[in-house]
Amino acid sequence: MDNQYEYRAIKGFAISSLFWAIVGLLVGILISLELVYPSFNITPWLTYGRLRPIHTNALIYGFTVPAAFSLFFFLVQRLGRTRLAFPRLAQATLYFFNIAIVLAALSLFAGMTQSKEYSELEWPLDIAIVILWVMFSINIIGTIIKRKEEQMYVSLWYILATVVGVAIVYIGNNIAVPVSWFKSYSIYAGANDANVQWWFGHNAVAFVFTTLPLAVFYYILPKATNAPLYSHRLSIIGFWSLIFAYLWTGAHHLIYTPLPDWIQTVAIAFSFFLIAPSWASVINGYGTMNGQWEQMRSNYLVKFIILGITFYAMQTIQGPSQAVRAFSALIHYTDWVPGHVHMGTMGWVTMTLSAGFYYMIPVIYNTKIYSIKLANLHFWLVLIGQLTYSVTMWINGIRQGAMWQAMNKDGSLVYSNFIQTLTPNYPFWNMRTAGGVIFFAGFLVFVYNIYKTIQTAPAVQKA
């Protein structure tokens, strides 16, 4: 009955995504240990400075992006009631992707980096990523064009925004002059380079960590709750104002830097504007739950999707508040920021993508989820792990910021030696590692559950 759809590459990308997630999370745990125990920095390849980009790149480009390739190839077929436009191209994308990620990891281990945050890969790999994105986009757009369902559901909008948005910001930030195969210099200099970098950095958040999971959210929400979307109109207004406003906000990462004040102020203003379109999706989530909140107890998919959107709700309030100059002065450059980021990634993004996989995998393998009990265990472990991580980092961030700010009446610093403000981090950082380990355990339960689900599939579907 499902033979009208093409699932091969979808399966491959789902498995690749889970594999690279495990790698990225393990590196995360290792670098959290290195921060407390410098002796873990064995060999240049395993020093914190080289591993931290591997952690972020593995989870952005190794986990989130292929999860989207997988889920988007599924969504465009389902929502368009048509077969994937170019199945063999999709298969080629899968192989090319995994080769590129291996090379990306090796190059970062070897210290080949442009140093731009979340955009560290050197120019040959940037080109590989652009080619991959084009291959992916051809399939997405091609399938949408030949769809049999005339109206594009809102998930398809978010998919198209992701396709277009990632392309624009990735290319814009990575323009560089090569010196050798392994080294290049940005064409932008100084404050301009910083401004372009954070336009990219913040919009990687927009198009990888926002529109991407939102596409999944809008599909899974009515499926999981078995109820119609609360407001289609709200999703329309939310969509256009979201993709309009996001691009103005990058410079809120550069408050109190030499970047001209007007750019900072515009970014702060638009950061507040962004609360409205972000919450349009939150209200849609909660509105859809109207009259059926008891599903939070009985339906594991609903738990993931609603907790996910709840973390998105908090994230999109916390983000703009961090753009306030006075608050930025306290928490910028501290642990508060990784606390914020990890609520978005471990909370919103991972929970939503997990819900997507829990829904999609049984459909494409023509089976049922292996264990709802394990799915619930997964839910509680990642929830506890993430909260442990984020809350610990928020508290520690405020402590750090307060110690850096503390001044005596005569204008001298209370903690004049930086080391005095560093050592109190250690208990918090151990707590953070514990949070990460709990989260990782939850993720392993997830992977095991998906693996067993695939195992129970009827033989024909396994391929």
Partner 1 sequence: MNVDKRPVVFIILAMITILIGTVLTTFLPLFLGTAKANLEKIIPYKPLELEGRDIYIREGCNNCHTQTVRPLPFETARYGPPSRLEDSAIDRPHLWGSKRTGPDLAHVGRKYPAPWHYLHLKSPQSMYPQSNMPSYVWLADRKLDTTYSERKMNVLGYPYTAEDLRDLSDKTEMDALVAYLMRLGKETRD
Residues 298-327 that bind partner 1 (CB under 8 A): none
Shortest distance, position 53 Cβ to partner 1, whole Å: 6
| Shortest distance, position 36 Cβ to partner 1, whole Å | 7
Q: What is the DSSP letter of 45?
A: G
Name residues contacting partner 1, limited to 339-398 (CB under 8 A): none
- Which DSSP string corresponds to 386-420? HHHHHHHHHHHHHHHHHHHH-B-TTS-BTT-SHHH
- Under the binding rule (CB under 8 A), the answer on residue 44 touching partner 1 is yes
- For 82-108, the DSSP string reads S--S-HHHHHHHHHHHHHHHHHHHHHH
Q: Is position 168 an interface residue for partner 1 (rule: CB under 8 A)? A: yes
- Tell me: does residue 287 bind partner 1 (CB under 8 A): no
Q: Of 5, 7, 72, 199, which lies in the binding site for partner 1, with binding defined by CB under 8 A?
A: 199
Report strand pairing: 176-180 vs 183-186.
antiparallel
Query: Which value, to the nearest 10 degrees, does the dihedral of the CA atoms of residues 203, 208, 210, 215 take?
Result: 140
DSSP character at residue 152: P
> Please, what is the minimum distance in Å from the beta carbon of residue 136 to partner 1?
14
Told to check if 48 binds partner 1 by CB under 8 A, we report yes
Angle at 71 between CA 70 and CA 73, to 5 degrees: 70
Let me know: does 87 contact 9? Beta carbons within 8 Å.
yes
If one asks whether residue 272 binds partner 1 (CB under 8 A), the answer comes out as no
Number of residues that bind partner 1 (CB under 8 A): 93
The yes or no reply on residue 338 touching partner 1 (CB under 8 A) is: yes
Helix (H) or strand (E) holding 254: none
| Cβ atoms 446, 354 nearer than 8 A | yes
By CB under 8 A, the residues from 64 to 93 that bind partner 1 are none
Q: Which stretch binds partner 1 (CB under 8 A): 63-71, 128-136, 246-254, 310-318?
A: 246-254
CB of 427 to partner 1, least distance (A): 13
Residue 15, class by beta-carbon neighbours within 10 Å (0-12 exposed, 13-18 middle, 19+ buried)? middle
112 binds partner 1 (CB under 8 A): yes
Question: Does residue 251 touch partner 1 according to CB under 8 A?
Answer: yes
Among 2, 106, 111, 380, binds partner 1 (CB under 8 A): 111
Which one of 91-99, 168-176, 315-323, 446-454 is the stretch in contact with partner 1 (CB under 8 A)?
A: 168-176
> Cβ of residue 309: shortest distance to partner 1, in angstroms?
22
Does position 157 interact with partner 1 (CB under 8 A)? The reply is yes
Region binding partner 1 by CB under 8 A among candidate stretches 47-55, 67-75, 367-375, 382-390: 47-55
Q: At which residue do the structure tokens 């990687």 appear?
A: 204
CA distances from 36 to 1, 401, 437 (A): 55, 19, 15
Among 63, 217, 246, 439, binds partner 1 (CB under 8 A): 246
Residue with tokens 């504007």: 273
Residue closer to partner 1 (CB basis): 240 or 293: 240
Please select the residue that binds partner 1; options are 45, 95, 380, 418, rule is CB under 8 A.
418
Ranges of beta strands (E only) in 174-213 are 176-180, 183-186
By CB under 8 A, tell whether 444 contacts partner 1: no
Contact 32, 432 (CB under 8 A): yes
Note whether 145 binds partner 1 by CB under 8 A: yes
When computed from its CA atoms, the radius of gyration of the chain, rounded to whole angstroms, is: 22
Is 127 or 329 the residue whose CB approaches partner 1 more closely? Answer: 329
Q: How far is the CB of 210 from partner 1 (least distance, A)?
A: 13
Asked whether position 96 contacts partner 1 by CB under 8 A, the answer is no
Of the two residues 177 and 460, which places its CB atom closer to partner 1 in the complex? Answer: 177
Token reading at 85: 């436009």
Contacts of 167 (CB under 8 A, 6+ apart): 130, 133, 137
Rounded to a whole number of angstroms, the minimum distance from the CB of residue 360 to partner 1 is 22
- Compute the distance between CA of residue 161 and CA of residue 140 in angstroms, rounded to an integer: 12
Q: Which two tokens stand for residue 399?
A: 């402590």
Range in contact with partner 1 (rule: CB under 8 A) among 8-16, 44-52, 220-228, 446-454: 44-52
262 binds partner 1 (CB under 8 A): yes
Q: Which of 103, 247, 324, 434 lies at the binding interface for partner 1 (CB under 8 A)?
A: 247
Residues 388-417 that bind partner 1 (CB under 8 A): 404-407, 411-413, 416
Token digits of residue 178? 């090569």
Q: How many Å from the N-terminal Cα to the C-terminal Cα in the chain?
A: 17
